[in-house]
Amino acid sequence: MTSQYATSSNFDIRVNFAKKYSTKNWLGWLAERLPITSSDKVLDVGCGTGNIWLVLSHHEKYPGTLTLYDKSPAMLSKSTEVLKFMQAKSALTSLVGDAEDLPFEDNSFDTVLALHMLYHVKDQPKAVAEFARVLRPNGKLYLTSNTTRNMKPIFETAYQAFGQSGVRVDPGAHAFDPDTAKTLLSPHFQTVDKELFVDVYRVSSQEDVVNFLGSMTEVWSPTDTQIRSVPSHVSQTFKNTNGTLELDHECAMITATLGD
Domain residue limits, the chain: 9-149+169-200+249-257
Pairing between β-strand 91-96 and β-strand 245-257 as defined by DSSP bridges: unpaired
**What integer pLDDT is reported at residue 1 of this predicted model?**
47
**What integer pLDDT is reported at residue 5 of this predicted model?**
53
Over residues 102-117, the mean pLDDT reads: 98
Helix (H) or strand (E) holding 28: helix 26-33
pLDDT tens track for 188-241: 999 999 999 999 999 999 999 999 999 988 778 888 999 999 999 999 999 999
Q: Are the C-beta atoms of residues 118 and 180 closer than 8 Å to each other?
A: no
**Phi and psi torsions of 47, nearest 5°:** -65, -20
pLDDT tens track for 150-183: 999 999 998 888 876 557 889 899 999 999 999 9
Segments of the chain assigned E as strands:
41-45, 65-70, 91-96, 109-115, 135-146, 191-203, 245-257
From 109, 102, 183, 100, select the one nearest 139 (Cα to Cα): 109
Share of the chain above pLDDT 70, in %: 96
CATH class of 9-149+169-200+249-257: alpha beta
> pTM of the entire structure?
0.90
| Res. 75: pLDDT tops 70 | yes
